[in-house]
C-alpha cells in the first residue's frame, strides 16, 4: 500500500490564518519536501495540524476525546479576536490508487468545548462521519503513527523508553498489534475453548466401554490439572488485584499533593477508562466466541463443497458402471434364452429358433459383460456424500468481522490510554519533593510486584498451553474411536488442527519479525555511524531489549548523538516491518547530530523510509544551502516559514524551490 500526501490547507490553526493548498507532492526521484523555519515560527504547529487532521489529536499519545479540552488553544488568536470561530485543516492524499480528501473542522465557542466535525471523500464517494477514523486507521493506524509522524522529542526519548520494562512492553505490544498478532491470539483462545468442548462431547458418545472408561479417566485427569492451573491463576490474579489496590492507595496519597493533583486526576480518569475498556473487550470476545461456536465450519465450506463435487462425480461414474453391467447382463440372459428356446421374459411370446447370428451375438454379449465385470471399480458411496452434505455450513461470518473491527478500535483506544497513564506515572515518580519521591518509590515497588504477578500469570498460561497439547493427543484417540459420529469427529479434528496451526504461525511470525527488524536496524545503523568499523551492529532481544554491539562485545555505551542514531535506525526498521506504510514527517530530527552524521542521515536513512519524506527543520540543524548541497535533486519541494507582519501570533509559508 502506497500513501502519498498531495497538499495541505490550514485555516486559523496555530499561527496560520490561512494557507491554501500547500503542495506536498513528490516524484520518485525527488521524494523529499523540506520546510525551513526558525524556532517559535510554527514548524511544530504545522506538524500538529497534520496529526490533528488525521486522528483528531494534535499530540501523540492522546485521543481525540482527550484533546478536546485543550483544542481551543490551537485557534489562531488574531482570528478569534476578529470574531471568527472555526479552525480547519484539510489534507489531500493518494492511497491504493484512490484520491482522498480529508477535512477536520472545529467550531470554538465561548461556552463549552469545541464542536469537531470531519469530512472524508474517497474519489467522489462520501464516507460516513462515524466511519472516518476506521478508514484512516486502515491506511495508517494511530498505534504506529509515531513511526511515521515523529519529532525530536520522540528521538530523545526513544532509546531510553526501549530499555525501560514498562515502555518496552508497550512498544512490543504496539508492534504486535500492528502485525495483527493480538487478533490471532484471541481467535486461538476461542478455538481452544471450542476444541475442549468437542473433546468432552466425544467422550460422552463413545460406545466401547473399555475405551470409553480410559478416555474419561484421561479427560478427568486433564480436567483436574486444568482446574489446578485455573486455581493458581485465580490466586495470582487475586494477589495482582491486591497489589493494584495498594497502588491505588498510593496514588490517592500522591493526589493529595497540590502540585500533582491534576496528574492524579488524569491518572484516575485513565484507570477508570481502562477498566471500562477491559469490560468492553471481554464482552466483545464473548460475543465473538459465541459467533465462532455457531459457525465454526463456515471457513471450511468452500473446501467441503469441492470435496462433495468430487464424491458426487465418483458416485455418478460408479452408478453409470452399474447400469452398464445390468444392461449387459440383461442382454446375455435374453440371448441365452433365445439360444435355448422358450418364451421372451418380457412379452411372453415364443422366441424364434436360434441361428448362427444369435449364437455370435450371445458370445459378444458375454465377452462385453466379462470385460465390464473385470474392469470393476468401487461402488457409489452415498453415505459419504450425505455426511459431507451435512457438514457444509454456509452461515455468514460478517458478524464475526464486525465484532473484530469493534475490538480493534477498543484495543487501539486501550493502548493510547495505557501509554498516557505511563507518562503520568513517570511525571509523578520524577517529582523533586521528598514526599513524592518516597511515594514514587512505593509506586515502583508495587509496580514490580504487579509485574511479578503478571509474569506468574504468563507462566501459568504457558503451562495451560502444554496441557492443551496433551489434550490434542487425547483428541486424536477420541477421533479414532468416534466412528458413526462424522460431524463431531470432523469438528474436533478441525479445532485441533486450527488451534495448533494458529499457535505455531503466531510464534514464527513474531520471531521472524524480530529478526528482520534487528537485521534492518543493524544495517541502517552501520550506514549512519561515522566509524562503522568499530561496531558489529544492534541486537534486539526476545524481550525487545536493545543493545549496541562493538568489536569487544555487547552493551556498549554511547553518546546522546549515538543514541539518536540508534533510535533513528530502530524507527526506520520498525517502519519497514509495519504491515501498512505511508509518508514520513519529521519535526526537528537532526538537532543532536553533527554535520557529518546529519549528512549520513539525509543520504542513507531518509531515502530508505519510503516514497515521501517531509522534513521540518531549523537553521541550527540544516540551513537551506546545506540542504541543497547534501540532497540536491532529491528535494522535490522546499518552503520557508516566516512572519509577514512581525507578529509572533501570525505566520505564513512561501515556496523557495
Q: Do 271 and 307 share a domain, yes or no?
A: no
Report if residue 243 sits inside a domain. Answer: yes
Q: Do 10 and 129 share a domain, yes or no?
A: yes
**CA–CA separation, 307 and 297 (whole Å):** 14
Q: Do 339 and 262 share a domain, yes or no?
A: no
Average pLDDT of the residues of the chain: 77
CB atoms within 10 A of CB 170: 16
C-alpha dihedral sign at 407, 412, 417, 423: positive
Report if residue 472 sits inside a domain. Answer: yes
Q: Do 437 and 376 share a domain, yes or no?
A: no
Q: Do 385 and 441 share a domain, yes or no?
A: no
Q: Do 132 and 243 share a domain, yes or no?
A: no
Give the distance from CA 373 to its chain's centroid.
60
Residues 458-476 pLDDT 10s: 787 777 777 767 766 666 6
Q: Of 391, 420, 442, which closes a domain?
A: 391
Instruction: Check if the beta carbon of residue 145 is closer than 8 Å to that of residue 151.
Output: no
Residues 15-64 pLDDT 10s: 999 999 999 999 888 989 999 998 888 898 999 999 999 999 888 767 77
Q: Do 96 and 169 share a domain, yes or no?
A: no
Angle of helix 398-429 versus helix 165-178 axis, rounded to 10: 160
**CA–CA separation, 301 and 395 (whole Å):** 9
At residue 642, the pLDDT reads 92
What mean pLDDT comes out for the span 199-220? 61
Can you give the CATH number for the domain in which 11 is found? 3.40.50.300
Instruction: Check if the beta carbon of residue 608 is closer than 8 Å to that of residue 572.
Output: yes
Q: Is 293's pLDDT higher than 80? A: no
**CA–CA separation, 167 and 182 (whole Å):** 18
The residue segments making up the domain with residue 110 are 3-140+580-655
Q: Do 352 and 405 share a domain, yes or no?
A: no
What mean pLDDT comes out for the span 233-247? 76
Report if residue 463 sits inside a domain. Answer: yes
Instruction: Check if the beta carbon of residue 321 is closer than 8 Å to that of residue 372.
Output: yes
Report if residue 151 sits inside a domain. Answer: no
At residue 5, the pLDDT reads 93
Residues 353-408 pLDDT 10s: 667 777 777 777 778 777 777 776 777 777 877 777 766 655 556 677 788 888 88
Report if residue 535 sits inside a domain. Answer: no
Report if residue 136 sits inside a domain. Answer: yes
Report if residue 145 sits inside a domain. Answer: no
Q: Is 87's pLDDT higher than 90? A: yes
Higher pLDDT, 193 or 7: 7
Higher pLDDT, 257 or 79: 79
Q: Please provide residue 125's backbone torsions phi and psi, each rounded to the nearest 5 degrees.
A: -90, 140
Q: Is 101's pLDDT higher than 80? A: yes
Strand partners, 395: none
Residues 271-288 pLDDT 10s: 888 888 888 888 888 777
**CA–CA separation, 79 and 11 (whole Å):** 9
What mean pLDDT comes out for the span 207-212? 55
Q: Do 186 and 273 share a domain, yes or no?
A: yes
Q: Do 292 and 308 share a domain, yes or no?
A: no
Q: Is 85's pLDDT higher than 70? A: yes
Q: Of 356, 391, 426, which closes a domain?
A: 391
Q: Of 358, 391, 424, which closes a domain?
A: 391
Q: How many domains does the chain have?
A: 3
Strands (E) in 145-285, as ranges, are 149-151
Nearest CA-CA partner of 381 in 339, 318, 444: 318
Q: Is 245's pLDDT higher than 60? A: yes
Nearest CA-CA partner of 32 in 619, 653, 603, 641: 603
Q: Do 270 and 312 share a domain, yes or no?
A: no
Strand partners, 613: 32, 584
Q: Do 308 and 357 share a domain, yes or no?
A: yes
At residue 433, the pLDDT reads 42
Instruction: Express as a percent the part of the chain with pLDDT over 90.
Output: 14
- pLDDT band of residue 641 (cuts 50, 70, 90) is very high
Q: How many helices (H) and strands (E) does the chain have?
A: 18, 14
Report if residue 547 sits inside a domain. Answer: no
> Hey, what's the cell of 239?
494477589
Q: What angle do CA 573, 579, 580 make, to 5 degrees?
A: 95
Amino acid at each position: 500500500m502506497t500513501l502519498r500526501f498531495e497538499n495541505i490547507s490550514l485555516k486559523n490553526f496555530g499561527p496560520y490564518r490561512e494557507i491554501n493548498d500547500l503542495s506536498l507532492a513528490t516524484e520518485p526521484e525527488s521524494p523529499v519536501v523540506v520546510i525551513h523555519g526558525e524556532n517559535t515560527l510554527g514548524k511544530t504547529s504545522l506538524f500538529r495540524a497534520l496529526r490533528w487532521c488525521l486522528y483528531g489529536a494534535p499530540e501523540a499519545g492522546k485521543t481525540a476525546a482527550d484533546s478536546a479540552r485543550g483544542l481551543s488553544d490551537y485557534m489562531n488568536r488574531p482570528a478569534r479576536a476578529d470574531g471568527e470561530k472555526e479552525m480547519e485543516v484539510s489534507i489531500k492524499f493518494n492511497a491504493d490508487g484512490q484520491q482522498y480528501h480529508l477535512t477536520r473542522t472545529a467550531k470554538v465557542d465561548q461556552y463549552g468545548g469545541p464542536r469537531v466535525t470531519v469530512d472524508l471523500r474517497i474519489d467522489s464517494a462520501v464516507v460516513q462521519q462515524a466511519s472516518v477514523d476506521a478508514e484512516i486507521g486502515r491506511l495508517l493506524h494511530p498505534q504506529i503513527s509515531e513511526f511515521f509522524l515523529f519529532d525530536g522529542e520522540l528521538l530523545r526519548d526513544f532509546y531510553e523508553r526501549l530499555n525501560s520494562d514498562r515502555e518496552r512492553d508497550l512498544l512490543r505490544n504496539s508492534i504486535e498489534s500492528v502485525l495483527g498478532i493480538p487478533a490471532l491470539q484471541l481467535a486461538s483462545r476461542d478455538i481452544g475453548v471450542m476444541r475442549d468442548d468437542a473433546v468432552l462431547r466425544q467422550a460422552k458418545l463413545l460406545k466401547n466401554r473399555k475405551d470409553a472408561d480410559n478416555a474419561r479417566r484421561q479427560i478427568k485427569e486433564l480436567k483436574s490439572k486444568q482446574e489446578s492451573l485455573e486455581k493458581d491463576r485465580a490466586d495470582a490474579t487475586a494477589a495482582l488485584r491486591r497489589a493494584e489496590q495498594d497502588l491505588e492507595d498510593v496514588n490517592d496519597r500522591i493526589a493529595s499533593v497540590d502540585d500533582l493533583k491534576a496528574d492524579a486526576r488524569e491518572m484516575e480518569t485513565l484507570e477508570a477508562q481502562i477498566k471500562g475498556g477491559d469490560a468492553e473487550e471481554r464482552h466483545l470476545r464473548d460475543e465473538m466466541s459465541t459467533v465462532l461456536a455457531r459457525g465454526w465450519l463456515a471457513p471450511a465450506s468452500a473446501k467441503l463443497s469441492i470435496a462433495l463435487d468430487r464424491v458426487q462425480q465418483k458416485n455418478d461414474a460408479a452408478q453409470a458402471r452399474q447400469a452398464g453391467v445390468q444392461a449387459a447382463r440383461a442382454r446375455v440372459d435374453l440371448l441365452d434364452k433365445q439360444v435355448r428356446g422358450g418364451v421372451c421374459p418380457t412379452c411372453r411370446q415364443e422366441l424364434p429358433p436360434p441361428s448362427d447370428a444369435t449364437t455370435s451375438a450371445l458370445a459378444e454379449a458375454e465377452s462385453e459383460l466379462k470385460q465390464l465385470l473385470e474392469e470393476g471399480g468401487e461402488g457409489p458411496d452415498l453415505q459419504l456424500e450425505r455426511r459431507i452434505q451435512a457438514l457444509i455450513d454456509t452461515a455468514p461470518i460478517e458478524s464475526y468481522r464486525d465484532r473484530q473491527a469493534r475490538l480493534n478500535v477498543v484495543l487501539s483506544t486501550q493502548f493510547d490510554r495505557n501509554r498516557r497513564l505511563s507518562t503520568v506515572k513517570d511525571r509523578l515518580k520524577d517529582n523533586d519533593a521528598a514526599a513524592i519521591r518516597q511515594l514514587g518509590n512505593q509506586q515502583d515497588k508495587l509496580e514490580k510486584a504487579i509485574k511479578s504477578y503478571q509474569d506468574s500469570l504468563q507462566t501459568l498460561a504457558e503451562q495451560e498451553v502444554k496441557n492443551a497439547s496433551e489434550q490434542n493427543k487425547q483428541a486424536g484417540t477420541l477421533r479414532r474411536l468416534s466412528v458413526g459420529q462424522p460431524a463431531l469427529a470432523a469438528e474436533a479434528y478441525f479445532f485441533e488442527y486450527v488451534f495448533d496451526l494458529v499457535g505455531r504461525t503466531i510464534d514464527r511470525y513474531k520471531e521472524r519479525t524480530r529478526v528482520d527488524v534487528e537485521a534492518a536496524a543493524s544495517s541502517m545503523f552501520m550506514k549512519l555511524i561515522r566509524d562503522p568499523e568499530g561496531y558489529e551492529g544492534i541486537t534486539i532481544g526476545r524481550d525487545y531489549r536493545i543493545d549496541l554491539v562493538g568489536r569487544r562485545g555487547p552493551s556498549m555505551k554511547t553518546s546522546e548523538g549515538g543514541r539518536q542514531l540508534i533510535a533513528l535506525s530502530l524507527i526506520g526498521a520498525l517502519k519497514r516491518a509495519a504491515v501498512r506504510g505511508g509518508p514520513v514527517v519529521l519535526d526537528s530530527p537532526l538537532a543532536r547530530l553533527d554535520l557529518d552524521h546529519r549528512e549520513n542521515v539525509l543520504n542513507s536513512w531518509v531515502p530508505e523510509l519510503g516514497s515521501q519524506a517531509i522534513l521540518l527543520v531549523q537553521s541550527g540543524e540544516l540551513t537551506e544551502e546545506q540542504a541543497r548541497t547534501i540532497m540536491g535533486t532529491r528535494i522535490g519541494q522546499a518552503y520557508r516559514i516566516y512572519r509577514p507582519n512581525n507578529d509572533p501570533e501570525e505566520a505564513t509559508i512561501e515556496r523557495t524551490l
